[in-house]
Amino acid sequence: MIIITGGAGFIGSAVAWKCNIQGREDLIIVDHLNTSEKWKNLLNVKYDTYLQKSDFLDRLVSGSLPKIDAIIHMGACSSTTEQNMDYLMKNNVDYTLALMEWCLQNNVRFIYASSAATYGNGEHGFDDNHLIIPKLRPINRYGYSKQLVDEYALKKGYLDKCAGLKFFNVYGPNEYHKDEMKSVIAKAYSQIKDTGKLKLFKSYKPQYPDGGQLRDFVYVKDCVEAIWWLLENPQINGIYNIGTGQSRTWNDLAAAVFNAMNYPVDITYIDMPESIRNQYQYYTEASMQKLIDHGYLKSMTSLEAGIADYVHHYLAQKFAHLAV
């Protein structure tokens, strides 16, 4: 059995989709659906069992689950604006560490989601060398919760036995339930469809023009390719960036969406809410050399190609979900 926590969420459901493509349907999906639209991400997924997040850990520890090959832990609060630090400590930190400890004690493959938010303002760069981990200073609570897990794994020597993935700006199908946390691409499609225009945040740093802020945007299909590779290569462990290795501007992203939709580019720059101005990353770019050096040879999808695929095959098809 492969367990996927957050298996109805954005990246988690895409991992389940990839497992199905590879002939694996012996999946246990762990999530907390409540009244969200996440259940739609499971419509095209073949899996053995669904477990409530609140029940899963007890069943795992009690030994009542079938033999487990791996736990792919994508479950977490992924909101970069979440303010309840106690909730993040319990949900993102304690839960992850409990799963990590169990997997290492029971010789089960463990792959977990970290985040590029751990890099903060980028003053120490974006290199996934383990030596940099203690120096990082995230600028929001979400990033700090992910940083604590990485620091713990490093301190305990666990990074030689499991894989942590620092996802950069992920976009693609199955993110539709994420409301304000959806990628700008998904939001842009709806805005452009409705108005023919797109709103982007102004820059508040003189070295970056409006819309010139830089991010590393990575297609979710590339993310799950890397996860599957790590699943097939359990000897490859440590912290790895998951991005493209090339930063692009929000203006580049906007132009790619307009072009994919066959609309003329029409951007309006709006004020950034004061509540996020001090937590805003103006530049991110994943160093991908470490993953390549360890044998990962697949190339990442360009921003233009990824957006074209997303727009034509998913967003334009009334927000279609990944399907085998």
- pLDDT 10s digits, 217-260: 999 999 999 999 999 999 999 999 999 999 999 999 999 999 99
Cα(9)–Cα(7) distance, integer angstroms: 5
In this predicted structure, the answer to whether residue 169 has a pLDDT above a threshold of 90 is: yes
pLDDT at 8: 98
Q: Six-digit token pair at 106?
A: 């029971």
Residues 5 and 34: beta-carbon distance below 8 Å: no
Catalytic residue among 156, 178, 187, 202: 178
Average pLDDT, the chain: 97
Q: What is the pTM (predicted TM-score) of this model?
A: 0.96
Cβ-proximal residues to 261 (8 Å cutoff; 6+ apart), any chain: 189, 192, 193, 311, 316
**What average pLDDT score do residues 64-92 get?**
95
Catalytic residue among 95, 142, 144, 310: 142
Q: Which of 205, 202, 209, 211 is nearest to 258 (CA)?
A: 211
142 catalytically annotated: yes
Would the CA dihedral through 164, 73, 230, 68 be positive or negative? positive
Cα(4)–Cα(12) distance, integer angstroms: 6
pLDDT at 279: 85
15-47 pLDDT, tens digit per residue, is: 999 999 999 999 999 999 999 999 999 999 999
Query: Whose structure tokens read 């990442």?
Result: 300
pLDDT-derived band of residue 324, with 50, 70 and 90 as boundaries?
confident
pLDDT-derived band of residue 285, with 50, 70 and 90 as boundaries?
very high
Instruction: List the beta strands (DSSP E) in 147-255.
Output: 163-167, 169-171, 198-201, 214-215, 217-219, 238-242, 248-249
In this predicted structure, the answer to whether residue 81 has a pLDDT above a threshold of 90 is: no
181-228 pLDDT, tens digit per residue, is: 999 999 999 999 999 999 999 999 999 999 999 999 999 999 999 999
pLDDT at 140: 94
298 catalytically annotated: no
Which domains, from first to last, does the chain contain? 2-171+217-245+285-301 (3.40.50.720)
